[in-house]
Amino acid sequence: MQMVVKNGGAFSLNAGESVLSVLKKRNLATFSNCGGHGTCGKCAVRFLKGAPLPLPADRKRFSPSQLREGYRLACLAKPAQDCIVEMAFEKEREFILTSSALPSDALSSQMKSQVLLREDPKQYGKTFVIADLGTTTIVLQLVEAESGRVIDTYRALNPQRQYGSDVISRMEHALSGMDHLLADCVHYLLEGAVEKWLQAGFSPLFVVLAGNTVMDHLLLHMDVSGLSHAPFTPVTTDQVVTDIAMLKCYVMPGISAFVGGDIMAGMLSVREQMQKEQVEKALLIDLGTNGEMALIDKDRTVCTATAAGPAFEGGASANVPGTDMIALVARMLSGGIIDETGLICEEYFHNGVTVDHVCIRQEDVRGLQIAKAAVYAGIHVLLETAGCKVEELERVYLAGGFGYLLDGESAIRIGLLPAQLRGKITAVGNTALSGAYLYGKLLLAQRAEEKTAAIKKQTESINLAEQDAFQACYLQAMSLTEMAE
Ligand code: FES
């Protein structure tokens, strides 16, 4: 059979093969949020000819008139005759945070890449590379070792996204024998970036990489089966040394299956900040696909991760950045368009409500409620485990792009953060990068293992699924209302 993709070419299609798998092979589609299970709606295509019959998932996703126009989910559509399709999914919005609060990191990365072509490596001292290996994005920076000056930045979407946007889908693919593909695609990307700097005449000493435990395992080609089910046992959480473009690459140690090297980096970075600000108790929150958080006290840390899902990274289906969604939902609440249970008023119930040119449907609000309830309940359990009252927290450090874009008042209004944290929220940028830099400095001083071993010793990692208090608080926190601990 033949499939013609409008503005994309003609391809042969085997019987039983999905449209998405052909698009992926041809690099015409690189992402899906659900790993091709028909639940995220990110892979919409429109059949101009030869549309297969709609499946229940199509009926759920598209209106009757859209179905008649030929809209289908590409991951489930398996044409039985020649067809012509048009890609209907929006190009992903891309917001990748590189600002790591390191000195001289004010230029946009694109500008810095252009500057690099004119840079003379001799004007810099020793350098090394830091990398934030995120589930969604990967950022590498070439930094001057002594000053932390950022010489150049390379950023990209994680190519593993073609195997699903969350760690669970990626593990499923790895466990089905595609582990080498998942490892190789990231490896090539890292090598490409580092080689660019080698060719420009720089001689970085090494690479320091901070990633979550699953990302690290996939890169290192380690067995992820222990991470996919209880009791969630990683192969290792120690520092691992591998090679990237013939350079030694130090994969930062983590704490547990849920708390990886990226949070270790975050803790290194935030602890330094706390020292500067003379803060004794603080909360570090990194809201991405996995909402990771740590309650950091002078000599004890309790940390965890909560499955926030895609709501903070592009909305459940409206393709709205999570921070905008929070602000919009806060406004809808104030305007009486939704109630505290998250129900959109009858007038807009079926077709959604359009606010600032964005159509928000009931399912978008539900996605946000689920994510925000998980985060709120996670904070509640951390406080309870640490025996700390919310009033005792002097700061909330919000890591990642979210921190810069989040309107703290809206976050409190919808009950994402406890009301007592009003006025204490500070954005700290990409702490995986700033912590990786600190780790690189420690490596140079031969103190990295000693320092991280000390942090590990005083850190307790908890699995929220095992906490009764989490379940109870989670249900309560689904309500879209200001909440106080
Ligand atoms: S619905 Fe098709 S990839 Fe998610």
- Please, which pLDDT band fits residue 93 given cuts at 50, 70 and 90? very low
- Global model pTM greater than 0.85: no
Tell me, in angstroms, the distance from the centre of ligand 1 to residue 17's CA. 15
pLDDT band at residue 94 under the 50/70/90 scheme: very low
Q: What is the mean pLDDT of residues 318-344?
A: 82
What integer pLDDT is reported at residue 320 of this predicted model? 65
CA of 462 to the centre of ligand 1 (A): 32
- Distance between start and end Cα atoms, the chain: 60
Element (DSSP H or E) covering residue 295 = strand 290-296
**Ligand 1 neighbours (beta carbon < 6 A):** 32-34, 36, 38-43, 73, 75
Sign of CA dihedral 272, 277, 283, 288: negative
Using the predicted structure, report yes or no on whether residue 104 has a pLDDT greater than 60.
no
Q: Which of 42, 85, 319 to mutate to test the pocket of ligand 1 (most atoms within 8 A of CB)?
A: 42
Cis omega (within 30 of 0) for bond into 159:
no
User: Taking residues 118-122, what's their average pLDDT?
Assistant: 75
Cβ-count burial 39-69 (b if 16+ within 10 Å, e if not): bbbbbbbbbeebbbebeebbeebbeeebbee
Which atom, in ligand 1's list, is nearest to the CA of 32? 3
Distance from the alpha carbon of residue 359 to the mean position of ligand 1, in angstroms: 20
- Which residue's CA is the closest to the ligand 1 atom numbered 1? 38
List residues bridging with 4 in a β-sheet.
10, 84
**How confident is the model over 418-472, as pLDDT tens digits?**
999 999 998 888 899 999 999 999 999 999 989 999 999 999 999 888 888 998 8
Q: According to the model, what pLDDT value does residue 478 have?
A: 93
Residues 16-41, mean pLDDT to the nearest whole number = 77
In this prediction, residues 58-73 reach a mean pLDDT of: 84
Distance 328 CA to ligand 1 centre (A): 25
Q: Which run of H or E residues covers position 57?
A: helix 56-61
Whether residue 122 is predicted with pLDDT greater than 90 in this model: the reply is no
**Residue 20 CA to ligand 1 centre (angstroms):** 9
What is the distance between the alpha carbons of residues 220 and 274, in angstroms, rounded to a whole number?
33
Look up tokens 């608080």; give the residue: 473
The arithmetic mean of pLDDT across residues 75-99, rounded, is: 71
- In angstroms, the Cα distances linking 248 to 128, 129, 241, 431, 450 are 10, 10, 7, 22, 19
Amino acid at 219: L
Q: Is 6 within 8 Å of 48 (Cβ atoms)?
A: yes
How many CA atoms lie within 13 Å of 367's alpha carbon, on the beta-carbon side?
Answer: 24
Q: On the CB side of 79, how many CA atoms lie within 13 Å of its CA?
A: 28
Ligand 1 pocket test: pick from 19, 23, 24, 33 the residue with the most ligand atoms within 8 Å of its Cβ: 33
Cα of 53 vs centre of ligand 1, distance in Å, is: 17
